[in-house]
């Protein structure tokens, strides 16, 4: 057991800030008188000094189960899914399963920062961590090709658009931005088919939508080594994501047991 790794998980999830509320700036206009009144104040107050915020009470359960979008934390996946990353990465190292680690859909970078920390902690220097994202949020649904994304509104959330510079800064914050961290910037459909990745030992898909999940599976699953792990972050909460996984498994006759991590995430070992 590594105290560094245990502490890092808490810090990445903001679980160490016990009993402190979060303050979420009010940005979007809502059809609500009180909010509009507050927004009016937001307009006249000097922005560098004051901001009107919603108070979000400290909720460790949400952070353990990864069911909220944190205001400050560097990852939204929660402690159980962080523990799962630790399990998968430790296993592939122990069992000498060849290949790099990747997450498709990194947001502020917390999960990939954690992968990099695990490699550093275990003194592994021959594996890369691939960081794949548009760094501008999710795509608008392509309903002609992917009917399952018809009602998907993730693209409307500016909170999900985090720039590559911010993610790099987050790596630097933990002293983990090394040569083994490789960025793939752009839509998955454009970057993943040409990514110069030879082999993967851990493939983590966290792109929410059917299209984003399918792009990860189609372009990367064949590169996952036998004995490696695939992790699906949104299986339990985004029906389109689950559908993409079921479709891909059926098309490729994959029967490996799907193991639940929590109410959202699942994983399996490639056999």
d(CA 182, CA 197) in angstroms, rounded, equals: 10
Is 213 a binding residue for ligand SAM by CB under 6 A? The answer is no
For ligand SAM, which is the closer residue by CB, 138 or 224? 138
Q: Which of 8, 15, 76, 92 binds ligand SAM (CB under 6 A)?
A: 76
Is 216 a binding residue for ligand SAM by CB under 6 A? The answer is no
Q: Which of 65, 84, 128, 134 binds ligand SAM (CB under 6 A)?
A: 134
| 8 A C-beta contact, residue 245 and residue 148 | no
Is 170 a binding residue for ligand SAM by CB under 6 A? The answer is no
d(CA 39, CA 89) in angstroms, rounded, equals: 46
Residue number, nearest CB to ligand SAM = 105
d(CA 34, CA 15) in angstroms, rounded, equals: 31
Is 208 a binding residue for ligand SAM by CB under 6 A? The answer is yes
The CB density around residue 91, as the number of other CB atoms within 10 Å, is 16
Is 60 a binding residue for ligand SAM by CB under 6 A? The answer is no
Collapsing DSSP to helix, strand or coil, 129 comes out as strand
Interactions with ligand SAM, residue window 28-47 (CB under 6 A): none
Which residue from 116, 118, 114 is spatially nearest to 78, judged by alpha carbons?
Answer: 114
For ligand SAM, which is the closer residue by CB, 81 or 223? 81
| 8 A C-beta contact, residue 84 and residue 64 | no
| 8 A C-beta contact, residue 231 and residue 87 | no
Interactions with ligand SAM, residue window 79-118 (CB under 6 A): 103, 105-107, 110-111
Q: Which of 13, 22, 88, 139 binds ligand SAM (CB under 6 A)?
A: 139
| Min dist. Cβ of residue 128 to ligand SAM (A) | 17
């Amino acid at each position: 057991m590594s105290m560094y790794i245990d502490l890092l998980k808490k810090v990445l999830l903001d679980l160490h800030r016990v009993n402190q509320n979060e303050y979420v700036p009010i940005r979007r206009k809502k059809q609500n008188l009180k909010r509009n009144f507050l927004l009016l104040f937001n307009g006249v107050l000097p922005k560098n000094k004051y901001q009107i915020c919603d108070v979000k009470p400290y909720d460790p359960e949400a952070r353990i189960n990864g069911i909220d979008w944190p205001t400050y934390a560097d990852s939204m996946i929660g402690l159980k899914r962080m523990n799962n990353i630790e399990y998968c990465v430790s296993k592939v190292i122990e069992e000498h399963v060849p290949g790099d680690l990747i997450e498709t859909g990194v947001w502020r970078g917390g999960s990939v920062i954690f992968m990099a920390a695990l490699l550093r902690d275990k003194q592994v220097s021959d594996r890369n961590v691939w960081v794949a994202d548009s760094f501008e949020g999710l795509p608008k649904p392509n309903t002609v090709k992917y009917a399952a994304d018809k009602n998907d509104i993730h693209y409307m959330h500016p909170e999900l658009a985090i720039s590559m510079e911010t993610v790099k800064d987050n790596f630097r914050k933990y002293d983990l931005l090394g040569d083994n961290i490789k960025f793939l910037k752009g839509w998955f459909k454009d970057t993943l088919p040409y990514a110069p990745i030879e082999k993967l030992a851990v493939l983590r898909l966290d792109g929410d939508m059917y299209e984003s999940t399918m792009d990860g599976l189609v372009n990367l699953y064949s590169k996952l080594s036998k004995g490696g792990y695939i992790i699906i972050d949104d299986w339990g909460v985004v029906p389109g994501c689950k559908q993409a996984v079921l479709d891909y498994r059926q098309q490729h006759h994959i029967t490996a047991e799907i193991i639940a991590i929590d109410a959202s995430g699942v994983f399996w070992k490639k056999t």
